[in-house]
Amino acid sequence: MPRTTQLRTYTVKDGLLDEWVERWRDDIVPLRLDLGFEIGGAWVDRERNQFVWLISYEGPETFAERNAMYWASPEREAMGLDPDDYLVHTEDRTVEQRY
């Protein structure tokens, strides 16, 4: 399958931005990497209370299929992490790298 990259922008509940970043870094990133995803970077926009990151996948499944594997995995369930506890709004955009 061709490489797919998503630009993800999350608006985080007031007062939880740093906690969200810590949970993302400590829990989400290792599992995503174990499942073959690549993280192209992550940024915090404190003025907007947003967390922005790039995630890519290139492998035998589509991005959507591999993403479904992530959400269905026992490791993801064991995190005890419900995004709704932290996030007010999410926006995922599939983007194509040009540079």
Edge-to-edge strands, sheet with 38-45: 38-45, 50-57, 4-12, 87-95
Write the CATH number for 48: 3.30.70.100
The gap from C-alpha 12 to its chain's centroid, in whole angstroms, comes to: 13
For the segment 51-81, what is each residue's pLDDT rounded down to a tens digit?
999 999 999 999 999 999 999 999 999 999 9
Task: Give the model's pLDDT for residue 97.
Answer: 87
Q: What's the structural domain count of the chain?
A: 1
Assess whether pLDDT exceeds 90 at residue 17: yes
Q: Looking at residue 2, what is its pLDDT?
A: 87
Dihedral over Cα of 71, 88, 30, 58: its sign:
positive
Query: pTM higher than 0.85 for the full model?
Result: yes
Q: Could you tell me the residue range of the domain that residue 44 belongs to?
A: 4-95
Rama region for 64: left / alpha / beta (φ>0; ψ in -120 to 50; rest): alpha
What local confidence, expressed as pLDDT, does residue 1 receive? 81
Count of other CB atoms within 10 angstroms of residue 24: 19
Asked if residue 39 has pLDDT above 90, the reply is yes
